[in-house]
Structure 1
Amino acid sequence: MMDKRGSQGSQKRNKDGFLKRSPFALILNQIQKKTSLRQQDHSSVAQLYKGPGEDESKTEETTDSKISDDKNSIANCYHQDVSEAGRSEPSGPESSEWKKVKHFYQRFGKKPNARCVNLNNCGLTATDIMELVRLLPFLPDVEEFDVSWNDFIGGALSLLTVELHHLSKLKILRLNNCRLTADDTNALGKALCLIPQLEEMDLSWNGKAGGNLHLLMERFQKGCSLKVLMLIDCNLTSEDGTLLAQALGGMQNLEVLDLSMNKNIGSSLRVIAQELQNAPHLSVLKLHKCGLNQDSVQYVGTALRYLPYLRKLDLSCNKEAGGGFKDSAPVASLKHLQVLDLHQCCITEADMEALTQVIPLLASLEVLNISSNKNIGSACEHLLSRLRFLPKLKSVFLNNCALQEGSFTALADATLQLSGMKELDLSWNKCVGGRLKQLLDALSLAADFQVLSLSSCALLADDLATLASVLQKGHLQRLRKLDLSYNDTVSDEGWTLFFQHLHMLKELSELDVSLRPSSSRYCGTWFSDLLASLIKLPAFTEVGVQRWVLTAPQQQQLKDFKKEDKKDIQFDCCSYVQDITK
């Protein structure tokens, strides 16, 4: 989003009638021209930002260069004004300086905070950036600075970084999706010495950081205060990974490292993993979709021996990692691990045998995600049966794992011992159909169970009847989200019985009973029972009924319901046809 605000420059005429411009007016005129251009053809500018083709990419680079030159020119002219502003300090919340801060924030519908600058997704323009720079001297106590999702920051970051000495207490810096350029990365690197207390840096979704990371990483001092480093989807190269590894060697205080969605750094995981040994306090390591292969997984496994406080480990969506988990012994040393995410890693049967030996030893584990690993269906029975040894387990994700009957039974039996279970996803496992009673008997003992996903599980009318019976007995009272979509195998009688008891779920907020994309079916008489139950559910907000077809009388029922409903329940989204009886 681009802001169309602009300041009106002051101009005077001399005796000859010609316009006489001050330097300040000249600066503002540059900004007005840029704003006028965006007003005349906003869509063309937006297209330049996309740059899908080679020619468009070159045009974008040219445009970025021009914008950057304009911003640098503005910056040079403003430095004197900023310096003069820095000579005064606000005397209190009602000082004239603080009133300027309040006025600036009011333009974005926000309230100022002396310790936090949060202008996330505010459509900042060059004018706004310069005004923000002038206000920095009046915010000496700021500890958090977030200007993420503002495209116009790209190419203009140096305007901010040269004044960061006013924010010597800064601990958190977030610049997500700001279209940062190589010059921005360089400017930020140079400014690190001005913010020695920095503990968190998030530069995620800045694609041009890739290939330029050395401009930043080489300036981190050994023993720096940094605790959180996030570089999600920054198009990092293998060389960037190597340079990052060198910087990690000096980040002994690092606690969170997220390099997700940088598919080219997998080849540099060996050196990264080696340097992680120097970050003994690391508690979160996320390498989602990083191009890891079998060797990469082995390197990470070796590093785990030196990370005793690791709480979250995400190696998901690395499709070439399959076969790399055969030596999972180091995982057993993670006594504090709470979240293990290995979904879509093409885990093999040999991997599963190794994981079966170590996962039950993770006494602190709360979340286990091994979804979308289709080769483990018949090999995970022993692992699922041993989940009973994880007393803190709260969430299990097994969707699309091609589970077999034995594995499903083992899970149901283990769930009997997991009274703290809150969430279970078994979607896309056809073995559930006709056997749901085994699972529901176990979940009835989980007093705080909240989310159940059974999409595309080939459920039958008997399964829905069992669910209705469980509700009638007063079980699953904390259930908040229920996904029964893509179960076209349930008859109208099954839906009717279920919806007649749906009102027992007093805390339910979301329900999905949509049909498959290729399906279409008339709503039965159960539609009236659905509406009657929904009106009794105080927390309910959304129901998915896609590809169910409403007759004319049912359309009228829905209209009447929406008029009477005080909670504004969203229906997503019935199909409408004329009454088939006419």
Structure 2
Amino acid sequence: MTRTDGRSGNQKNVESRKRQELIFNISSRHITDIERQLLQRSTILPKLKNLKFLRLRVKTFWNAVIMENFVRSLGALEFLEEVELPPGSGVACVVDTLLQQLQHLKYLQILALNENMNDRSLLQVAKASKDGKLSRIRSLHLICNTEVTDAGWHDFFQHLDNMYHLRELNISLLYMHPMKPHPSTIKALAQCILRLPHLLIVFMFAWLVDVADQKLLNDVKANHPQSKCINIFWQQPLPCLPVIEKENF
């Protein structure tokens, strides 16, 4: 007779995922407290050999020294599939170390660098991809990086390459801080998309694309290897449709 512990398959899957997932939520407003907690976590990371999903959620983080200690420990987590790092300049300052560690993670599929990039660090990410260090990534999130200039995005698009498995690219900005890109930046984006043969979806909310930009992006969709299913979204969705009532006077 087969023994059972009374748990369903779904319950076991959820419990298994919890053991493989680590979310660091540090909500303290005191910088020294945040730094202390992050330093403590960086010492326990190498012991979590089977960790697959790591999300570091801190409101903002600037200390590059402590962040470097943290990212250096990532290389020991050989089964990591997803990495999300916090907002703040601390990540941008150590992006070289980060990329060195990530290239050893052969199962990494999702990389989220939101609200923490500048022109220089974003270009380093693109150059790392060109060197084949991010070739396994399937989803790249670069959301709300308002410190990146139009020229910074242009250079990023020009260098991003060799990401054969990339399915999703998210470069959306805050709707309060939209950007009108130069036509050459949109052209660089179009050429970049064509170099990503398995790309299926691009999010670029809060990019103010004009009629000429839209035509170029539609042409890219038509000529892309995934032309039947690729989508490029630039219009910010509304949370709900407005209801307009006619008043009787």
Counterpart amino acid of 1:513?
A: I
Trace 1:106-505 onto structure 2 (pairs within 5 A): 253-256=5-8, 283=12, 312=15, 338-340=16-18, 365-371=19-25, 373-375=26-28, 377-378=34-35, 379-400=37-58, 402-403=60-61, 405=63, 406-457=65-116, 459-505=117-163
Trace 1:515-526 onto structure 2 (pairs within 5 A): 515-524=173-182, 525-526=184-185
> Which runs of 5 or more structure 1 residues have no equivalent in the other structure?
1-224, 228-252, 259-281, 287-311, 313-337, 341-364, 576-582
Question: Relative contact order, CA 8 A, sep 6+: which one is greater?
Answer: 2
TM-score normalised by the chain length of structure 1: 0.36
Q: Give the superposition deviation at 1:430.
A: 4.7
Change in 2 beyond 3 A, CA 1:456/1:254: same
Query: 1:510 & 1:374 partners in 2: Cα distance?
Result: 29
Query: 1:548 & 1:374 partners in 2: Cα distance?
Result: 30
Q: Give the superposition deviation at 1:467.
A: 0.8
Deviations 1:511-563 (A, max 9, x none): 11111121121112221121112123222111111111123432321232233
Give the secondary structure class of the aligned counterpart of 2:232. strand
Aligned length: 225
Tell me which residue corresponds to 2:202.
543
TM-score normalised by the chain length of structure 2: 0.79
Q: Give the superposition deviation at 1:388.
A: 1.1
> Which runs of 5 or more structure 2 residues have no equivalent in the other structure?
237-249
Change in 2 beyond 3 A, CA 1:561/1:387: same
Change in 2 beyond 3 A, CA 1:508/1:468: same
Counterpart amino acid of 1:440?
A: L
Tell me which residue corresponds to 1:534.
193
Q: Is the 8 A contact 2:123 2:159 kept in 1?
A: no
Q: Percent identity?
A: 22
Q: Give the superposition deviation at 1:370.
A: 2.4
Change in 2 beyond 3 A, CA 1:384/1:403: farther
Query: 2:133 & 2:160 partners in 1: Cα distance?
Result: 12
Q: Is the 8 A contact 1:388 1:418 kept in 2?
A: yes
Q: Give the superposition deviation at 1:427.
A: 4.1
Deviations 1:38-79 (A, max 9, x none): xxxxxxxxxxxxxxxxxxxxxxxxxxxxxxxxxxxxxxxxxx
Q: Is the 8 A contact 2:113 2:141 kept in 1?
A: yes
Query: 1:397 & 1:412 partners in 2: Cα distance?
Result: 12
Q: Is the 8 A contact 1:450 1:481 kept in 2?
A: yes
Give the secondary structure class of the aligned counterpart of 1:522. coil
Change in 2 beyond 3 A, CA 1:555/1:530: same
Query: 1:526 & 1:434 partners in 2: Cα distance?
Result: 25
Q: Give the superposition deviation at 1:574.
A: 4.6
Q: Give the superposition deviation at 1:491.
A: 1.6
Q: Is the 8 A contact 2:193 2:220 kept in 1?
A: no
Q: Give the superposition deviation at 1:401.
A: 5.1
Q: Is the 8 A contact 1:483 1:512 kept in 2?
A: yes
Deviations 1:149-170 (A, max 9, x none): xxxxxxxxxxxxxxxxxxxxxx
Query: 1:493 & 1:450 partners in 2: Cα distance?
Result: 28
Query: 1:411 & 1:567 partners in 2: Cα distance?
Result: 42
Q: Is the 8 A contact 1:377 1:401 kept in 2?
A: no
Counterpart amino acid of 2:171?
A: V
Tell me which residue corresponds to 2:247.
none
Counterpart amino acid of 1:470?
A: A
Counterpart amino acid of 1:369?
A: I
Counterpart amino acid of 2:106?
A: A
Query: 1:416 & 1:546 partners in 2: Cα distance?
Result: 33
Which one of 231, 234, 248 corresponds to residue 573 of structure 1? 234
Query: 2:196 & 2:228 partners in 1: Cα distance?
Result: 10
Query: 2:60 & 2:235 partners in 1: Cα distance?
Result: 31
Query: 2:176 & 2:70 partners in 1: Cα distance?
Result: 31
Q: Give the superposition deviation at 1:384.
A: 1.7
Query: 2:171 & 2:110 partners in 1: Cα distance?
Result: 15
Give the secondary structure class of the aligned counterpart of 1:370. strand
Give the secondary structure class of the aligned counterpart of 2:40. helix
Counterpart amino acid of 2:155?
A: L
Give the secondary structure class of the aligned counterpart of 1:475. coil
Q: Is the 8 A contact 1:394 1:423 kept in 2?
A: yes
Change in 2 beyond 3 A, CA 1:283/1:551: closer
